[in-house]
């Protein structure tokens, strides 16, 4: 049995790293992909994890597989394909903010088919996590939906991150349709404040969270950047600010937050929906601290803090 299984994109983030002596742009190779980032954070905190996805049988795919192995993530569900190339994302930083350019036409992750998904792994998950980027294209869309169906039937908690990247959809209308089409299947939904209106029609985080709760979810997290996060359940909501930090790169901050939040959620050993707001608040504090540490360094996985560093930032108080 795995604590956390994720399906979706595993890719290279080539992050802008200045200029060469000849004036050419330099890019730093970093492992990325939101579902993989969530797993990496959770695995680093001690959860048993497995990844399901697809990379190319190329230098980037080999690198990514090795990164997951080194982080203790089970890669039996990771396909290496000879006919497609590993997805690449080129990341430009403006201060700590990012813009993306993707090499994904197609990328290996979008070609994951239903027959390539290891459903034994899916059925063995306590929490099954996926994001919206695996819904942009077929056959990965159908593979994802089937995996969610199988996980839910097996009793897994379903975690969903509607991670919007405009350049990966044909248009915003298609993005809204597919991103909203799965919200009723999820128990936990993590969205950013930039995605609330796309997903719910409401720009206010509190109102957006209420819409998603009414659609069937149990816990909604809205990340608010420097303002921290809002967490909402049917018992109410709380908003917590993160510890002070000086951000250098926000890549992966939301994934670090979610991986840390799910770690605390699982650690409680309580069924989903049985956590009171005081407990949810402590999980958010922990996740905020982890994300604040992540943004102080470059890249997502290379910046993920260990548990002792997180508790140090929290002031040494174990809750």
Is residue 270 situated within a structural domain? yes
Q: How far apart are CA 252 and CA 54, in angstroms?
A: 20
pLDDT of amino acid 98: 66
- Burial of residue 76, with CB atoms counted within 10 A of its CB: 0-12 exposed, 13-18 middle, 19 or more buried: exposed
Residue 51 lies in a domain: yes
Question: At which residue do the structure tokens 């996805």 appear?
Answer: 53
Largest CA distance in the chain: 59
Where residue 97 falls among pLDDT bands split at 50, 70, 90? low
Mean pLDDT of 73-77: 98
Q: Is residue 26 domain-resident?
A: no
pLDDT value of residue 54:
98
State how far the alpha carbon of 71 is from the alpha carbons of 38, 49, 50, 194, in Å: 12, 10, 11, 30
pLDDT tens for 114-166 read: 999 999 999 999 999 999 999 999 999 999 999 999 999 999 999 999 999 99
Tell me what pLDDT residue 229 has.
98
In a domain, 284, yes or no: yes
**pLDDT of 301 over the 70 cut:** yes
Cβ-contact 258, 34 below 8 angstroms = no
Count of beta carbons in the 10 Å neighbourhood of residue 101: 12
Helix 34-44, helix 59-70: angle, nearest 10 = 30
In-domain check, residue 228: yes
What is the domain count for the chain?
1
CATH code where residue 280 lies: 3.40.1190.20
Please state which of the ranges 97-106, 181-190, 253-262, 297-306 shows the lowest mean pLDDT: 97-106
In the prediction, which pLDDT does 316 show? 53
| pLDDT of 319 | 46
Say yes or no to pLDDT of 318 above 60. Answer: no
Is the per-residue pLDDT at 210 higher than 90? yes
- Asked if the model's pLDDT at residue 81 lies above 90, the reply is yes
**Is 107 inside a domain boundary?**
no
Side-chain-side CA neighbours of residue 16 (13 Å): 18
Are the C-beta atoms of 134 and 144 separated by less than 8 Å? Answer: yes
Catalytic residue among 3, 13, 161, 255: 255
Is 97 a member of any domain? no
The average pLDDT across 12-28 equals 91
In a domain, 213, yes or no: yes
DSSP string, 167-219: GGSS-HHHHHHHHHTTGGG-SEEEEETTTHHHHHS--SHHHHHHHHHHTT-SE
Give pLDDT tens digits for 254-294. 999 999 999 999 999 999 889 999 999 999 999 999 999 99
Q: Which domain holds residue 295?
A: 2-10+33-87+112-313
Q: Which of 113-117, 222-226, 299-303 has the lowest average pLDDT?
A: 299-303
pLDDT for position 250: 86
pLDDT at 96 > cutoff 60? no
Residue 6 has pLDDT above 50, yes or no: yes
Question: Average model confidence (pLDDT) for the chain?
Answer: 95
The verdict on whether 235 is a catalytic residue reads no
**Looking at residue 218, what is its pLDDT?**
97
pLDDT at 101 over 50: yes
């Amino acid at each position: 049995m795995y604590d956390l299984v994720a399906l979706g994109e595993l890719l290279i983030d080539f992050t802008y790293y200045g200029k060469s002596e000849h004036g050419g742009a330099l890019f730093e190779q970093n492992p990325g992909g939101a579902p993989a980032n969530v797993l990496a954070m959770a695995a680093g905190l001690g959860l048993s994890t497995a990844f399901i996805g697809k990379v190319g049988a190329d230098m980037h795919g080999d690198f990514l597989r090795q990164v997951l192995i080194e982080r203790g993530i089970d890669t039996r569900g990771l396909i290496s394909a000879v006919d497609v190339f590993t997805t690449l994302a080129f990341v430009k930083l403006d201060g700590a903010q990012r813009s993306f350019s993707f090499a994904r036409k197609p990328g290996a992750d979008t070609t994951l088919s239903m027959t390539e998904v290891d459903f034994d792994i899916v059925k063995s998950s306590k929490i099954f996590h996926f994001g919206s980027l695996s819904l942009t294209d077929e056959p990965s869309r159908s593979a994802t939906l089937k995996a969610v169906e199988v996980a839910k039937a097996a009793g897994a908690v379903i975690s969903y991150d509607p991670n919007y990247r405009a350049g990966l959809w044909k248009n915003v209308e298609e993005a809204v349709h597919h991103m909203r089409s799965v919200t009723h299947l999820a128990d936990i939904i993590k969205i950013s404040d930039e995605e609330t209106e796309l997903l719910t029609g409401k720009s206010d985080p509190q109102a957006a969270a209420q819409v998603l709760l009414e659609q069937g979810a149990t816990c909604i997290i809205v990340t608010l950047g420097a303002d921290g996060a809002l967490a909402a359940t049917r018992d109410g909501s709380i908003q917590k600010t993160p510890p002070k930090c000086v951000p250098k790169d926000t890549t992966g901050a939301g994934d670090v937050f979610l991986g840390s939040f799910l770690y605390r959620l699982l650690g409680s050993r309580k069924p989903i929906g049985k956590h009171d707001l005081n407990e949810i608040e402590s999980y958010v504090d922990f996740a905020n601290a982890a994300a604040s540490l992540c943004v102080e360094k470059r890249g997502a996985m290379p910046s993920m803090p260990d548990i002792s560093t997180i508790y140090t930032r929290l002031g040494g108080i174990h809750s």
